[in-house]
Structure 1
């Protein structure tokens, strides 16, 4: 259950990076003024999405979410303005790409909220306690084989630790690294640097 949720969060991180990267390219279909604004906003947006995957407290997470929503509104207003001024199939393509950017962020957030239900934790705990009690009742020569009988409780504890750790996307040891978003950020920075170098007179 927790592994499936972990894989889902990884897939959405990849989908989010792909959607942002595609929209960064499609922004060239917009009028030059809107295109420049969208690219600048997407550059900031990628930074916020990378921060989303970092380990932080609840207050910092709220600030990141707030800033993300502000950038989404600004991005949508830019493409909406262009669509109203110059309605065309190419502008519609850029609007569709921006819709994908916003949707993938929503899917990612929903996946991070989707945790193992509390009832499932209670059930697993009851099963673990019952299993350990059965081992204890069936023990013979416990004093002579204490290390052997400790293996089962230790294994149960490690299993619970791993499940809880994987099911905690914002904390713990096993976390999702935003590799695709970081790679996208580097590509955007390289493109911006090349544009600046081409536009600089020699």
Structure 2
């Protein structure tokens, strides 16, 4: 009788440890699969591209790369303004997911006499002999961060400024490594020249308003 009882206990222990091992193996397998999925390049819509290098490389950009842009895809065509100050010390901003052009952000500097509109694209730009380079550092659905590397007329980088745009509770929070910080609201302005209180508008390269 004692032998039967002991045998029964051994069977129970065997079943228990078998179940524990199965759960551990399953958990490790799920974690491994999750880790592998995190290393797969995924577009903003969730399509995976296993043949591309891991997500440490930023694929967001003009042309084919626009499908990889999370922030710009979500906020494509949105315009943000300093609602409390018509002639703000900082530009109104418009984002574009490279729609019909190579520019991803445009600035509208409003002034009562002359207003200016221009924009930036990724990578190298040379304008009137001045060179700068823009690289995306972080691209999430509500956060966009990029480095602005200024060369001027030199072959070497003179300085780098990191720009960060983050949407929190419907407001656009802007900050830089230079200490600038502003909060913008969605704009309802009509940016046609006849509707703005300005003498003239000079449209420079990259204006997407």
- TM-score, reference length from structure 2: 0.23
Larger strand fraction of residues: 2
Q: Find the structure with the greater CA-based Rg.
A: 2
For normalisation by structure 1, the TM-score amounts to 0.23
User: Whose helix proportion is higher, 1 or 2?
Assistant: 1
